[in-house]
Amino acid sequence: MSIKSLTPQFVPSFPQELEPGELYLAMEFATAAHLCACGCGNKVITPFSPTDWQLLFDGETVSLKPSIGNWSFKCRSHYWVRSGRIEWAGDMSQAAINAGRKSDAEAKARVQSSRSEDVVVRQPVAQTRERVDVPSLITRFKKWLGF
Ligand SMILES: [Zn+2]
């Protein structure tokens, strides 16, 4: 039997057995879990991150962005969770799925590389601030500029 809506349940961790029609939200792990809306009984895990899913909680119902495409299940169900309701989307062609996966991977790679750059740039600044070593900082800066 297919599921028509998902009720949010905020939990510290996921229970062993999930109930159909419940959306388990483990905010500490920034992850949600529910049983596939088609009724096949497969567990669907949706992590939240800028490149995975986004959660919108309006105080009563939840929406997930983007859609959930269970391509790895036999059912290949594809649906949206909007204001707690399941809205079925059409099946996607394999080419479209691959294209989506590729752009996901590219988006992830971009985020990861920009994050590691942040770490590299920020660390020296924090160290020089602790030392309050201004003249040598200026010297080093001039050296770096080529003076
Ligand atoms: Zn299913």
The predicted structure's pLDDT at residue 120: 39
42 Cβ contact list (under 8 Å, min separation 6): 35, 36, 70, 73, 75
Pairing of strands 7-10, 62-69: unpaired
Q: How far apart are CA 10 and CA 32, in angstroms?
A: 9
Q: What's the gap in Å between 112 CA and the centre of ligand 1?
A: 32
Predicted confidence at residue 104, as pLDDT, reads: 78
Residue 67: half-sphere exposure toward Cβ, Cα within 13 Å: 17
CA of 41 to the centre of ligand 1 (A): 7
The pLDDT of residue 112: 56
* CA 45 to centroid of ligand 1, rounded, Å: 13
State how far the Cα of 32 lies from the Cα of 54, in Å rounded to an integer. 10
- DSSP element (H, E) containing 131: helix 94-131
Q: How confident is the model at residue 45, as a pLDDT? A: 95
Cα 5 to ligand 1 centre (Å): 14
106 Cα to the center of ligand 1, angstroms: 27
Domain boundaries of the chain, sorted by first residue: 7-88, 94-135
Which pLDDT belongs to residue 98? Answer: 72
Residue 58 identity (one-letter amino acid): D
Return averaged pLDDT per consecutive 10 residues of the chain, 147 residues in all: 95 96 96 96 95 95 95 92 92 67 74 47 40 63 74
- What span, in angstroms and rounded, lies between the C-alpha atoms of 62 and 7? 8
Q: 6: burial class by Cβ within 10 Å (0-12, 13-18, 19+)?
A: buried
Dist. CA 96 → ligand 1 center (Å)? 20
